[in-house]
Amino acid sequence: MPKLPEAVNRARAAVGGVLEAEKLALIACSGGADSLALVAAAAHHVRRGQARVGGVVVDHQLHPDSAEITAKAAAQLRDLGLDPVLTLAADVDPSSPDGPEAAARSARYRAFGQALAETGAAHILLAHTRDDQAEQVLLGLARGSGTRSLAGIPARRGPFLRPLLGLSRKETEAVCTHEGLSWWEDPANADPKYLRSRIRTEILPTLEQRLSGSIRESLARTAQIAAEDAAYLEAQAKEAFARLLEDPDEQGDLRLDLERLVAESPAIRRRVIALAVVAVGGSNPSSERIAAVEQLLVRQGSAGPVELEGHVRAERGTRDTSDYGKLVLGPRR
């Protein structure tokens, strides 16, 4: 038998490392090279009787030929032996204040949740590659949002697994070529109005040319190191949060001891504040909002409230109240 391309072996090994024979997994497929390569690698294990794998193709309904593209992708999945194969329409809100990319992502993940519920699958495999990881790190640098952002795309989060983070986009195309699969090139991937597209088509190629030909590998390695550091710091912050937390009151407010919070290192303190915001029903706060809360801790100037994401407020207890010496967080009133 002719020797298999190295990209095919690498993809099969990566996917085989996350599949479990007794549990159904779904492949999220857009019809692009990355997701079709993921399908082909999983299909190899299906043919060998080593895994149960189905697929889910989400039609975002944003391209005039989206129904045809979706149908073609689903047909290729079935031809490769995946079962079941679901095609789901995503309800994308074009007026979302978070922008079209975020709106499409939210709609896509709602469809993924529906697919998990309908099939009873344990996991959904997503086809992010090392190139996606490099782009995500640059996005994190642009936003200046800290270690967790630099950690990029996680290999595993909840039911979602990303086994191809160690492969490049060129390798996924090589897999598709070997398997005789034709993939769709989403024009949005090259549209300069999207920041990620500009990073992909302009910034990364310039960095490769002017800085280092291995910049993508270096950025992906940075993400791995940052992820390990972030995981450790977050574990430490959870322990500190549990130590500093008082029982929430009937109004849903919680309190943290100011003096002990200030004594924590800045890296832990910021994470404790973020955990407290989420604990009272808010969203993960931005670094700017966390910095505003930290200004309350110095016991000078305004005692707040500081408004945070998710309709949450933070304020410092004043001398004439029972909350003196405490940071109080709760729903806005």
Give one DSSP letter per residue of 26-54, joined into a string. Answer: EEE--SSHHHHHHHHHHHHHHHTTS-EEE
Lowest-pLDDT range of 34-43, 53-62, 78-87, 158-167:
53-62
The string of pLDDT tens digits covering residues 54-103 is 999 998 877 778 888 899 999 999 999 999 999 998 877 776 666 777 78
State yes or no: 145 annotated in a binding site.
no
- Which DSSP category does 312 fall into? E
Inter-residue contact 119 to 84 (CB < 8 Å): yes
Average pLDDT of 137-166? 88
Domains with residue ranges and CATH for the chain: 6-219 (3.40.50.620), 245-331 (3.30.465)
Q: What is the pLDDT of residue 93?
A: 74
Distance separating alpha carbons of residues 207 and 216, to the nearest angstrom = 9
Confidence of residue 133 (pLDDT cuts 50, 70, 90): very high
Inter-residue contact 183 to 176 (CB < 8 Å): yes
Confidence of residue 310 (pLDDT cuts 50, 70, 90): confident
Asked whether residue 107 carries a pLDDT value surpassing 90, the answer given is: no
State yes or no: 322 annotated in a binding site.
no
Distance separating alpha carbons of residues 305 and 307, to the nearest angstrom = 6
- Angle, alpha carbons 14-213-146 (nearest 5°): 70
Count CB-CB contacts under 10 A for residue 187. 9
What pTM was computed for the model? 0.84
- Which DSSP category does 247 fall into? P
Kindly report whether the peptide bond that precedes residue 100 is cis, defined as omega within 30 degrees of 0: no
Q: Which residues contact 262 (CB under 8 A, 6 or more apart)?
A: 269, 297
Q: What is the pLDDT of residue 3?
A: 76
Average pLDDT of 152-159? 93
**Main-chain dihedrals φ then ψ at residue 30, nearest 5 degrees:** -100, -15
Strands 306-308 and 254-257: unpaired
How long a stretch of residues is the chain?
333
State yes or no: 127 annotated in a binding site.
no
Distance separating alpha carbons of residues 53 and 76, to the nearest angstrom = 14
State yes or no: 93 annotated in a binding site.
no
Average pLDDT of 295-322? 87
Average pLDDT of 159-180? 96
Chain-centroid distance, C-alpha 312:
24
List residues bridging with 52 in a β-sheet: 24
State yes or no: 237 annotated in a binding site.
no
Asked whether residue 35 carries a pLDDT value surpassing 90, the answer given is: yes
Inter-residue contact 137 to 154 (CB < 8 Å): no
Distance separating alpha carbons of residues 156 and 172, to the nearest angstrom = 20
Average pLDDT of 30-37? 94
- Which DSSP category does 109 fall into? H
Asked whether residue 235 carries a pLDDT value surpassing 90, the answer given is: yes
State yes or no: 286 annotated in a binding site.
no
| Cα pseudo-dihedral 226, 232, 233, 238, rounded to 10 | 140
